[in-house]
Amino acid sequence: MTDLLSSFLESFSFGISKEVLVFLVSLVPLLELRGGLIAASVLNIDWKFAFPICVLGNIAPIPFILLFINKIFSMLKKTRLRTMVNFFELRAKNKSKKIVKYKEWGLFAFVALPIPGTGGWMGALIASLLQLDIKRSAFIIALGIICAGVIMSVLSYSLPSLFSSVA
C-alpha cells in the first residue's frame, strides 16, 4: 500500500526532489505539516530530515497570513470570490469560540492538536480576524506547529511500522 502511495506522490513530483515535494505539501492549506509528514513517511524520508522541512513549510506562510489576510479578504469581497471569503470567515468565526475563551492556550491547542480543520493556516486566519497581537500569535502558532509536528511524526512513522510487524 505504501509503495502505491509513494509511486502516486512521485508521479506528481515533476522531477523535483522528495524533500522539496514534502516542503510544498506542508505549505498547502488543509494539508499543511500533517500531510507533509505523512507524505514524507510514505516517501521513506528519514523523520529527522522530514520534521524540520515540514515545520518550516508550515510556518513559512503564517507571517503573511497574519499581516495581509484582512486586506486580501477586503479586496476579494469586491469580486466574485466574496462567497469564498465569506465561507472562510464564517468557518474561522465558528472555530474561534474556544480561542476567544482560552486566549493564547486556545490558539496553541487549536494549532497543535492534529484534528481535521485545524492547523497553522486556520489558526493564523482566526488570530488575524480576532485582531490578536501579530508577534505573540506568530510565536504561539509556531509552537503549535512544532507540537503538531511531534505528534504527527510519532503517528506517521511509528504506527505504520506497528501494523507491518503484525502482518
CA torsion angle for 34, 115, 31, 23 (degrees, to 10)? -20
What is the distance of C-alpha 7 from the center of its chain?
23
Percent of the chain with pLDDT over 90: 67
State residue 9's pLDDT score. Answer: 58
Residue with the bigger pLDDT between 23 and 30: it is: 23
The answer, yes or no, to whether residue 143 has pLDDT greater than 80, is yes
> Across all residues in the chain, what is the average pLDDT?
88
∠ CA 156-25-55, nearest 5°, is: 65
89-142: pLDDT as tens digits: 888 888 888 788 888 899 999 999 988 889 999 999 999 989 999 999 999 999
∠ CA 35-43-165, nearest 5°, is: 95
The string of DSSP letters for 72-112 reads HHHHHTTSTTHHHHHHHHHHHHHHTHHHHHHHHHHHHHHHH
Q: 468565526: which residue's cell?
A: 93
State residue 91's pLDDT score. Answer: 85
Contact 41, 47 (CB under 8 A): yes
Among 54, 64, 47, 49, residue whose Cα is nearest residue 24: 54
Residue with the bigger pLDDT between 163 and 133: it is: 133
Among 116, 120, 117, 107, residue whose Cα is nearest residue 149: 120
37-66: pLDDT as tens digits: 999 999 999 999 999 999 999 999 999 999
Residues 84-88, mean pLDDT to the nearest whole number: 91
Confidence of residue 88 (pLDDT cuts 50, 70, 90): confident
Q: What is the pTM of this model?
A: 0.84
61-83: pLDDT as tens digits: 999 999 999 999 999 999 999 99
